[in-house]
Structure 1
Amino acid sequence: MTSFSLLPEEAAPRLSVARRTLDRLRTVPGLAGRYDGHPDVRTLDGLAALPPLAKDDLNTALAHLEPAAEHAATWLFQSGGSTGAPKVGYAPTGFYMAGVHAHWRPLDRSDVFVNAWGAGRMWGAHFLASALADLSGCRIIALGSVARDEYDGWLEFMAARGVTAIGGTPSVLRLWFAHARAAGIRLPALRKVLWLGEAWQPQLAEDLAVVAPQARRWGMFGSTETWVVATNTPDCPPDTFHPLPDQLVHTDRDGLLDFTTLNPHMLNPVLRYRTGDGGELTTCPCGRPGPAMRVLGRRDSVVQVRGLGLDVDEVIAHAERAPGVARAQLVLTQHGGRVQELDVLLLTAPGSSPDTEHLRKELLAATFTLSTAFQHDPGNVRVRAVTELISNDRTGKTAALVVREEA
C-alpha cells in the first residue's frame, strides 16, 4: 500500500497548494536553506523528498508570515506547553468545519448537543465543535468547563433536557461519566459522544456502558496547526481514522505520521508537518474504501532523567496494568533543571485500593532508567493514589507527563 493517503492521480491536481506552501516557507529566514536543492513539488515522491516540519519550525514560520484570512476574521489559537513550547495556529471564521461536515455528520437537527470542550484561553476546540454543531442545525448547550462540585446539577439538567450528544476531550468526558456512574445518574437519551484532543480511553467506554448504554463514540484527529485531519465513526476502531480529502497523510520508514494540507484556504503552512504521533496507513474494518490512518501514539514521550532516557508511555502502561488502576500520570520535579523526584500518580477505580508500595518496587525493578538514575535515592520515586490527576486548567487535557520546576 502507498505511504500516502491519496493515490498519485488523486493528489496531482491539488499539489499546487503544496507548491504554494513551499514558496511561503522559502521566504522564512532560518527555514529557507533547508529547501535548497529541492525542486518544486510536482509528485508525491517529490513531496516525500522534502524535509519534514517540526513544531518549532512551524512556530518560526508563523511568526514570520503572520497569516490572515482573505474574508471575515482571523482567529489565533495556541495549544500545548505542558512539556514543550506552546504551538500556534491560525484559522478563518468557521474553522474549516464546513469541509469536515461535508464528509462527517455525527450530529443532525434532532440532536441536543452539549459542548463540553473548555472555552479556555486561546484553545480552539470549543469553538471548532460549536462551528460543526451550528452546521448540523442541532440545539447547542455551550457548557464549557465545569467545576467538580457542579457535576450533579448539570448531569440532572442534561437528563431533564434529553441531551442526545456530548463532546469533549476524553480526560474531561471521563470525569463526567465516572462521576455519573458513581452517583447513580443515568443519561438514557444520550446516543453520541464526540471526542478530540487525546486518545480514546477504555475506562471511558466502561463508564459509558453503564451511564448511557445507547451512546456511541465519534472521533476527530487533528491539532491546532493542522486542524481536523481525519475522523472516525462507531464502526471504526478508536485508533483508526479516515483522512479528509484535503488532508494528505504520509508515513515514512521511521513510523512517524506527517501531514500536508491541500486546502487552498489553509492559513498555516502545513507541509509534511509532524505532530509527534506514530502511525501507519491501513484498511479500516468499517469497510469504507480507501486507506485509513491508524494512530499508534506519541513518539516524543522519552524524557531525560539524570542523563538517561525515560520512556513515559512505558512507565504509564506498566502502572495502568496494576489491579484497580484506571489511569496513571508521571510528575517530574526539577531543581535547577535536574530531576530530583518522580511521582507516579494513580487514578483508581471506584472501591479499589492498589498496593502502591508493591507497584513502586515493581517499577524500579522493571525500568532500567529508574533503577539506575535513582540508585542512591530510591525513596525519591513515589507512587501515590489520588482522587484526580493533574489537568491543564485551560484545556482540560490530562498529560501523561507533568514537569515541575522548583527553586
Structure 2
Amino acid sequence: MTAFSLPPEEAAPRLSVARRTLARLRTVPGLAERYEGHPDIRTLDGLAALPPLAKDDLNTALAHLEPTAEHTATWLFQSGGSTGAPKLGYAPTGFYMAGVHAHWQPLDRSDVFVNAWGAGRMWGAHFLAAALADLAGCRIIALGSVTAAEYGPWLEFLAARRVTAIGGTPSVLRLWFTHARAAGIRLPDLRKVLWLGEAWQDQLAEDLAVVAPQARRWGMFGSTETWVVATNTPDCPADTFHPLPHQLVHADADGLLDFTTLDPEMLNPVLRYRTGDAGELTGCRCGRPGPAMRVHGRRDSVVQVRGLGLDVDQVIAHAERAPGVARAQLVLTRQGGRVTELDVLLLTAPGAAPDTGRLRGELLAATFTLSTAFQHDPGNVRVRTVSELIGNERTGKTAALVVREET
C-alpha cells in the first residue's frame, strides 16, 4: 500500500510539472528506455507506477539536461552524494526559499541570527539559510565554520550580541553547545535553533536545556537534489515534518520515501527521487491538518559523518582496489552520537604489504566527506592492516560498516 502527501484533488492541478519532468527524462540517453511504455502522468496512481529515480540516475540526467534560468542567475552546487568527484546540480540563487518562507517562518525581523552552516566546498546549506534569513528581514551573523580554539571567544561575542537564533547541522550545533556548557557560557536570549542536514540529536537537546533554556528547535528536511521538502516546528516530534505544497512525498510499500517536485521553477529533474530515507506518512501531534512525514532513517550505504553523507560502499570499493588488499571494512567510532574517529581496516592477501599511507592519502583526496569532516583533525582518519575483520560472532557475517559507541 502506498500513500502521497497530497490528496488527488490537490495534486492533479500540479501534475503538469511532473509530466514535463518525465518528458525531459525521456530525452536522456540511458534513462529513456526505462520510461518508454509508461503513459503520461495524469493521476497519483500513474505517478506511482513510474520507476523511482536514484542518485546515479539523477547524475546521468544532469549531465545531459541544461538548466533553464531565464529570470535569475544559477547556482552550481556539489551533488550526487559526498564521495568521489563533485557532480554539478543547479538552483536559482534564491534556493527556492521564498516558497519555504511562505509556509514556515521561524525567523522574524527582531532576530539576530547566527548562520553556522559551513560555507565552503560548493555545499548550498549556508546560502540557503542566508536566503531564508534575508526574507525574514533579520540581522545575520554569517559565521560559518570555526576551529576548536575559537569557540570560547565566539560564544562570548554571541552572548554579548544577544543572539536570538542559530542554525546549522546538529553535529555542528552540538559542538557549539558542548563548548558553551563546558565553559559555563550561557545564551539567555537564544530562542530558536534551526537545523538541516541530519537527524536531531538527544545530547544536543540536553546541552541546550543548560546553555539556552528558552531555545526551541525548528527543523528542515531535504537534500541538495530536492532542496527543502518539509519543515517542522517546536510542537512537532523531531522526526516528523510537514511537506511543503510544492513537494510531493510518496511512501512506497517497501517503506522508502521518494520525492517529486511540483515547483515549475525547479531546475533539477526530481521525479520519484529516492534519497535513501525510509519513512511513512502519518499525523502529527502539533495538530496541523494533512499528513506529515515521519523519517525513520537511511537504508542505503550512505551514513552521516559530522553532518555529511559518506558512501560506505564507495570507500570500501576504493580500498579493495589497492594492490594486496583482499577485503576492507570501515569502523566509525562515535562518542555521544558524534563521529570522532574513522578507521579503514584492510585484510591483506598472504604475503602482501599494502601501502597504507598512500591509500589513506588517496581516500582523503578522493572523498569529499573525509577531507571536509576531518579537516581540523585529519589524524583521526586511519588506514591499517589487520589479521581479521570485525565479524558478528553469532552469524559469522562481516559488515562493511562497524559503528562503535564510546562513553
Stretches of structure 1 lacking an aligned partner (at least 5 in a row)? 342-362, 375-380, 387-407
C-alpha displacement of 1:333: 1.4
Aligned to 2:55: 55
Aligned to 2:342: 331
Conservation of the 8 A alpha-carbon contact between 2:327 and 2:347:
no
Instruction: Please give the residue correspondences for 1:311-390 in structure 2 after superposition, counting only pairs within 5 Å.
Output: 325-328=336-339, 331-333=342-344, 372-373=397-398
From the superposition, tell whether residues 219 and 174 of structure 1 become closer, same or farther in structure 2 (CA, over 3 Å). same
CA offsets per residue over residues 31-63 of structure 1, 9 Å max, x none? 000001100000000000000000010011011
Letter aligned with residue 146 of structure 1 = V
C-alpha displacement of 1:120: 1.1
Conservation of the 8 A alpha-carbon contact between 2:15 and 2:42:
yes
C-alpha displacement of 1:80: 6.2
Please give the secondary structure, in 2, of the residue aligned with 1:278.
Answer: strand
Provide the TM-score with structure 1 as the length reference: 0.79
Aligned to 2:371: none
From the superposition, tell whether residues 367 and 34 of structure 1 become closer, same or farther in structure 2 (CA, over 3 Å). farther
User: Aligned partners of 2:228, 2:174: CA distance in 1, in Å?
Assistant: 22
C-alpha displacement of 1:66: 2.5
From the superposition, tell whether residues 383 and 117 of structure 1 become closer, same or farther in structure 2 (CA, over 3 Å). closer
Aligned to 1:400: none
C-alpha displacement of 1:284: 0.5
From the superposition, tell whether residues 61 and 295 of structure 1 become closer, same or farther in structure 2 (CA, over 3 Å). same
Conservation of the 8 A alpha-carbon contact between 1:88 and 1:224:
no
Conservation of the 8 A alpha-carbon contact between 2:327 and 2:346:
no
| Count of residues in correspondence between the two structures | 349
CA offsets per residue over residues 249-298 of structure 1, 9 Å max, x none? 00111111000000000000000000010010000110000000001000
From the superposition, tell whether residues 136 and 29 of structure 1 become closer, same or farther in structure 2 (CA, over 3 Å). same
User: Aligned partners of 1:64, 1:249: CA distance in 2, in Å?
Assistant: 26
Aligned to 1:17: 17
From the superposition, tell whether residues 249 and 94 of structure 1 become closer, same or farther in structure 2 (CA, over 3 Å). same
Letter aligned with residue 39 of structure 1 = P
CA RMSD of aligned residues (A): 3.0
Aligned to 1:72: 72
User: Aligned partners of 2:340, 2:53: CA distance in 1, in Å?
Assistant: 29
From the superposition, tell whether residues 83 and 185 of structure 1 become closer, same or farther in structure 2 (CA, over 3 Å). same
From the superposition, tell whether residues 40 and 78 of structure 1 become closer, same or farther in structure 2 (CA, over 3 Å). same
Aligned to 1:262: 262
User: Aligned partners of 2:403, 2:235: CA distance in 1, in Å?
Assistant: 41
Conservation of the 8 A alpha-carbon contact between 2:116 and 2:142:
yes
From the superposition, tell whether residues 364 and 16 of structure 1 become closer, same or farther in structure 2 (CA, over 3 Å). same
Aligned to 2:160: 160
Conservation of the 8 A alpha-carbon contact between 1:53 and 1:274:
yes
Aligned to 2:213: 213
Conservation of the 8 A alpha-carbon contact between 1:88 and 1:225:
no
Q: Give identity over the alignment, percent.
A: 79
Instruction: Please give the residue correspondences for 1:57-136 in structure 2 after superposition, counting only pairs within 5 Å.
Output: 57-79=57-79, 81-82=81-82, 86=86, 88-136=88-136
Aligned to 1:354: none
Instruction: Please give the residue correspondences for 1:251-330 in structure 2 after superposition, counting only pairs within 5 Å.
Output: 251-301=251-301, 325-328=336-339
Aligned to 1:142: 142
From the superposition, tell whether residues 325 and 162 of structure 1 become closer, same or farther in structure 2 (CA, over 3 Å). closer
User: Aligned partners of 1:337, 1:25: CA distance in 2, in Å?
Assistant: 44
**More displaced stretch, 185-194 vs 329-338:** 329-338
Provide the TM-score with structure 2 as the length reference: 0.79
Aligned to 1:32: 32
Letter aligned with residue 165 of structure 2 = A
Letter aligned with residue 260 of structure 1 = T
C-alpha displacement of 1:330: 7.2
